Structure 1
Amino acid sequence: MMAAEGSNFVQPAIPKFDGHYDHWAMLMENFLRSKEYWELIETGIPIADNKAELTEGQRKTIEGQHLKDLKVKNYLFQAIDRTIMETILHKESSKSIWDSMRQKYQGSTRVKRAQLQALRREFEVLQMKEGEKVDEYFARTLTIANKMKAHGEQMGQVVIIEKILRSMTSRFDYVVCSVEESNDLDNLTIDELQSSLLVHEQRINSHNSGDEQAFKVFYEDRTRGRGRGGPGAFRGRGRGRGKQTFNKATIECYKCHKLGHFQYECPNWEKGAHYA
């Protein structure tokens, strides 16, 4: 019965080094402590100055420590990738391997942590600039997000999507509200969101272009005296907004259709009035 229970016991897996030293060291320390081998990492193998003077009991103790150290080295060999292990010069003991790993990667882990904090702050204050295109803003946002992932940040698509929706300029308020109300953000992809915002951007640009063209036609008609209400109406609309300047030589008379004067200044208008 006891044998059956022992055979069902699941051995803990050896933690693989994935580049994040602090996390790996914590898992590996716990693993070695469960095997009662952590003392070899802390103090190393006892070295006898003169083996001839050792008692039989002392000699067996040292041999037992060497055997344990070989087991710990075997665990470390399985946990550390071959390319990294080849950069470790001293492999005489498990302690020398452990100390080399700490010197190589603990400092870089601190640097990565500091860089990640800086990227988090940059991501938090990220805002779309006035006049910035959708593609340009997505490129800026995803560049920072990818750097954060490379430094160990666990960032899902929904975090990036929510950030983008929160930081768009006011001209996208309508489409942002529409996206939030009509989509489940957990199932919405970044590409789908970018596509929706691009369509809205194109509509905005085409609408603004149409407004500019209409104003241009309106202004040209007014300055030539063809607009509704004649030239007097044009001058009245400009009142209070600064003096309107135009070339009178381009003005076309409604009466005689000659250039250079308005209808109320036309000499033919005066003749017609006396005749009546």
Structure 2
Amino acid sequence: MASSNFSPAAPQVFNGEGYHIWVVKMKTYLQAFDLWEVVNSDVEPEPLRTNPTVAQIRQHADERTKRHKAMSCIQNSVPDVIFIGIMACESPKQAWDKLKEEFQGTERTRKQQLLNFRREFENLKMKEEETVKQYSDRIMAVVNSIRLLGEQFNEARVVEKVISTLPERYEEKISSLEDSRDLTSIPLTELINALYAQEQRRASRLEEHQEGAFQAKTNTAYKGKKTWKNRPKPDAARSNDQPCRHCKRPGHPKEKCWFNPDAVCQHCKKKGHVERVCKSKAKSR
């Protein structure tokens, strides 16, 4: 009997999609309340014997009540649009089978679905851009669909599929695992984690290599290249930075200064400037 202290959450309402998942959840829910046998066997409680005891009367009442409880669970787990289809069913077994017939289909349909999923499983291969975890998730999605249709699918077969369809870059890791483990009995989770760890190490090394290559390229590009601030200036530029000895202003050498108190102009014969900047010469032109 189910524990009186245990009250599992009711399964989600079945809206017509994901029937196989709903069936698993609903079956577990009914088992938790000791109601699954009522649905599965659909056996009417035996009639009471003559002069039954109080205990027998209570047990008989409990058995009859179980049928109503199971029917209530099924009816309340579907919306009204689906409930209409099972409304006329007189037992939980009839309601259960009615839903199965409508949403799972016939046995022929189930077998065709299984065939399609098996074919999909056999054709699965890992893509170059996929991680091993993404690939294993794709495989398990197909495997779980097969299992939901009632077919046994052991983990060893999944492990074999993963190993046989991995790209060449995983061969070294697979060989290493073969040396230390029996791959026919290795858990799928352990295999995926080992391969994922290799992926992480490879990605880390690739990132470091790319960063090193970029830094080397950057250093090569700037090697020997001096900034404008540190670039040596030509002699003329360095002399222009110094203030002129005559006018005390920078920007020109003393030989080209318009003011020179020691110079004598060859044109006007006056002191203080050279002929090149003589104003009298400019006016006479």
TM-score (norm 2): 0.44
Rg larger for: 2
- TM-score after normalising by structure 1: 0.45
